């Protein structure tokens, strides 16, 4: 299979882990990178074997050898540059969330549908065997009927000048880490009679940053009566990225489901026994790039496609509104 030819918009910290290392493991070509800081782009290219550096994001999109882009820009720039990439005829692997709000996500959805291009939102954890096993335990009835899903995504605060605290760049705890917890709830839709609906949400603003959520907790309910709980924060003392699934016959717990390469355990507890499964520390980003490549090259279905992205964004917006805040504005930057 011909190597996928990728261009990278920006030299963000995550790019090395999310695309640089997986490209080496999967044989993808990193054709080009562009960043606002030319020196940073040159350093990134040298470190990760990127073939060339472009002077602007648009120049990268105009490169005929680039067939797919990876968009790791600040949240508020996901939507605009996803739209520009699609208009340029490029397949898109975008960091989450795919847009600043549901209205913008709908624009991206419509652009993808009219283009016929592959679009994938980078909820990489969904492609790893840890998450696949949690879903399998429910699908096969090993935990009994689904009763409760509890997702926790908390971390210590980024620096005060970090874009993740910027309202104009669609920042906040939900947009950075909470979106994983909300997406994980939606992953159980096939086993609970349908998608979860938001019951209530509570949030707290970051001091001196009006409108920017430092934390948010949400309660959800599935059509079959199962409940969901989301806890997210960017002001915790320690990192906790965990997921617990409770059924009528037992429960399963993944202590680090979003980054299973750091901890690949799935702890299963039933009335009869408790055991620990290790599902492998091969990176979730590598599984994700393989899935993206398969979709581009072979037309394989995309788990985190543009319709999934829109549904997640609608749930994010609903959480903000229920918590007395406003959805993130579309970026004017």
**Residues 188 and 276 sit within 8 Å (Cβ to Cβ):** no
Name, in order, each residue with C-beta under 8 angstroms of 157's C-beta and a sequence gap of 6 or more: 214, 234, 235
Is 78 a member of any domain?
A: yes
Distances (CA, A) of 40 to 22, 37, 84: 20, 5, 23
Name, in order, each residue with C-beta under 8 angstroms of 11's C-beta and a sequence gap of 6 or more: 33, 35, 37, 40, 41, 43, 44
Cα separation, 59 vs 177, whole angstroms: 31
Is 309 a member of any domain?
A: no
Closest CA to 16 of 53, 47, 51: 47
Identify whether residues 116 and 135 lie together within a single domain.
Answer: no
Identify whether residues 40 and 132 lie together within a single domain.
Answer: no
**Residues 291 and 120 sit within 8 Å (Cβ to Cβ):** yes
Is 234 a member of any domain?
A: yes
Identify whether residues 258 and 164 lie together within a single domain.
Answer: yes
Domain count, the chain: 2
Identify whether residues 28 and 168 lie together within a single domain.
Answer: no
Identify whether residues 157 and 235 lie together within a single domain.
Answer: yes
Distances (CA, A) of 292 to 187, 287, 303: 18, 9, 10
Identify whether residues 87 and 11 lie together within a single domain.
Answer: yes
Is 44 a member of any domain?
A: yes
Identify whether residues 135 and 276 lie together within a single domain.
Answer: yes
Is 263 a member of any domain?
A: yes
Identify whether residues 212 and 151 lie together within a single domain.
Answer: yes
Q: Is 96 a catalytic residue?
A: yes
| CATH code assigned at 187 | 3.30.360.10
What pLDDT sits at residue 332? 76
Identify whether residues 130 and 109 lie together within a single domain.
Answer: no
**Residues 8 and 59 sit within 8 Å (Cβ to Cβ):** no
Identify whether residues 133 and 247 lie together within a single domain.
Answer: yes
What pLDDT sits at residue 228? 98
Range of the domain at 189: 125-281+315-323
Identify whether residues 45 and 143 lie together within a single domain.
Answer: no
What pLDDT sits at residue 333? 62
| pLDDT values of the chain reduced to their tens digit, one per residue, 333 residues | 899 999 999 998 899 999 999 999 999 999 999 999 999 999 999 999 999 999 999 999 999 999 999 999 999 999 999 999 999 999 999 999 999 999 999 999 999 999 999 999 999 999 999 999 999 999 999 999 999 999 999 999 999 999 999 999 999 999 999 999 999 999 999 999 999 999 999 999 999 999 999 999 999 999 999 999 999 999 999 999 999 999 999 999 999 999 999 999 999 999 899 999 999 999 999 999 999 999 999 999 999 999 999 999 999 999 999 999 999 999 876
Query: Among 84, 90, 96, 244, which one carries the catalytic annotation?
Result: 96
**Residues 265 and 254 sit within 8 Å (Cβ to Cβ):** yes
How many Å is the maximal CA-CA distance in the chain?
Answer: 62
What pLDDT sits at residue 1? 82
**Residues 300 and 291 sit within 8 Å (Cβ to Cβ):** yes
């Amino acid at each position: 299979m011909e190597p996928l030819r990728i261009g990278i918009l920006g030299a963000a910290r995550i790019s090395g882990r999310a695309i640089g290392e997986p490209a080496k493991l999967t044989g993808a070509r990193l054709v080009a990178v562009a960043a606002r800081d030319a020196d940073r782009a040159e350093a990134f290219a040298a470190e990760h074997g990127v073939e060339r550096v472009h002077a602007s994001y648009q120049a990268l999109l105009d490169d005929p050898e680039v067939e797919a882009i990876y968009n790791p820009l600040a949240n508020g720039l996901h939507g605009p540059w996803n739209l520009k990439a699609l208009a340029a005829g490029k397949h898109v692997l975008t960091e989450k969330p795919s847009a600043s709000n549901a209205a913008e996500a709908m624009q991206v959805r419509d652009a993808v549908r009219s283009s016929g291009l592959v679009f994938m939102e980078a909820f990489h954890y969904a492609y790893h065997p840890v998450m696949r096993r949690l879903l399998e335990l429910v699908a096969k009835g090993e935990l009994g009927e689904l009763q409760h899903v509890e997702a926790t995504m908390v971390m210590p605060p980024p620096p005060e000048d970090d874009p993740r605290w910027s309202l104009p760049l669609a920042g906040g705890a939900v947009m950075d880490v909470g979106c994983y917890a909300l997406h994980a709830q939606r992953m159980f839709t096939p086993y609970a009679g349908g998608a979860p609906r938001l019951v209530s949400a509570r949030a707290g603003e970051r001091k001196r940053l009006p409108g920017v959520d430092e934390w948010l907790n949400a309660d959800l309910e599935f059509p079959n009566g199962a409940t969901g709980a989301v806890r997210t924060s960017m002001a915790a003392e320690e990192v906790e990225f965990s997921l617990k699934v409770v059924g009528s016959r037992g429960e399963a717990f993944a202590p680090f489901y979003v980054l299973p390469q750091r901890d690949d355990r799935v702890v299963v507890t039933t009335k009869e026994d408790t055991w620990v499964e290790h599902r492998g520390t091969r990176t979730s980003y590598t599984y994700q790039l393989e899935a993206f490549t398969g979709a581009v090259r072979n037309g394989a279905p995309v788990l985190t496609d543009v319709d999934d992205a829109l549904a997640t964004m609608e749930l994010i917006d609903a959480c903000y509104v229920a918590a007395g805040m406003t959805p993130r504005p579309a970026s004017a930057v």
